[in-house]
Amino acid sequence: MSNRMPLSPTPRSTPTREKGRARTDRAELDAVLDAGLVCHLGVVLDGTPVVVPTVYGRDGDTLFLHGSSGAGNLRAALAGDISVAVTLVDGLVYARSAMHFSMNYRSAVVRGRAVELSDADERMHALRVIVEHSAPGAWDRVRPPSKKELAATMVLALDLTEASVKVRAGGPRDDSGDIETGGVWAGVLPVRQMWEAPISSADLEAGVEVPRDVLDRVATTLNTA
């Protein structure tokens, strides 16, 4: 990853709080983005912020988003800078004092100006990246987007240059006085997000088997730390 841009090249993406949790390795950004299933997109709509969950995909230094061309949030996303956050929760930190309770997590926050893709090949590539992000192996066996579907779809590309990554891991960081006092349990309750057994669609015809790439995910963790 030595040829990749470093993270946080601008002051506004350099964390000022909890500096110990900030990471600067570009590979860590990729890892968080690749492990997430949904992102939270922040745009300014009618002068005030709005945050919505949406799917995404990543290819190299670019994050792709898509949605209906009629969606106000996506139109707003093109009118100014946006922010995209991906957060993976790894555990709940129980401390000996109320203010030291915390979460173990990995999070990426990207800021920048998105552009709408207009080139047909670029758009198709981005849509493939988005589908394959959450459902690897699925694109090649399903019907590709039709002209009508493409006409109704906006595809946005966001450069990943301006991003920050934070990671918290490990046990509570209690005050020494509280540790000395003792008597209170402290530790971590880990969280794990798992794929469960597939449920075939009620309208699926007989004889169509669950694909291997779907079966292989069952009982695996979505986003291992």
Find the binding residues for a second copy in span 165-204 (CB under 8 A): 171-172, 174, 178-179, 181-204
Instruction: Give the Cα separation of 123 and 41 in Å (integer).
Output: 19
Does 52 interact with a second copy (rule: CB under 8 A)? yes
2 or 141: CB nearest a second copy: 141
Q: Which two tokens stand for residue 121?
A: 């090949």
Residue identified by tokens 């009629």 is: 70
CA atoms within 13 A on the CB side of 66: 23
Residue 107 CB, shortest distance to a second copy, in Å, is 5
Does 225 interact with a second copy (rule: CB under 8 A)? no
Site string for a second copy, 12-31 (x = CB under 8 A): x---xx--------------
Does 49 interact with a second copy (rule: CB under 8 A)? yes
Tell me the one-letter amino acid at 78: L
Instruction: Give the Cα separation of 191 and 91 in Å (integer).
Output: 5
Instruction: Give the Cα separation of 120 and 151 in Å (integer).
Output: 10
Residue 62 CB, shortest distance to a second copy, in Å, is 18
Interface residue with a second copy, options 5, 22, 157, 214 (CB under 8 A): 214
Instruction: Give the Cα separation of 209 and 206 in Å (integer).
Output: 9
Residue 3 CB, shortest distance to a second copy, in Å, is 28
Question: CA nearest 36: which of 186, 165, 138, 159?
Answer: 165
Interface residue with a second copy, options 5, 45, 78, 157 (CB under 8 A): 45
How many residues at the interface with a second copy, by CB under 8 A?
Answer: 99
* Residues between 61 and 90 with contacts to a second copy, criterion CB under 8 A: 67-68, 70-72, 80-85, 87, 89
* Residues between 97 and 156 with contacts to a second copy, criterion CB under 8 A: 97-99, 101, 103, 105, 107, 109, 111, 127-128, 131, 134-135, 138-139, 141-146, 149, 153
Between strands 62-68 and 82-94, the pairing is: unpaired
Does residue 13 contact residue 168 with C-beta atoms inside 8 Å? Answer: no
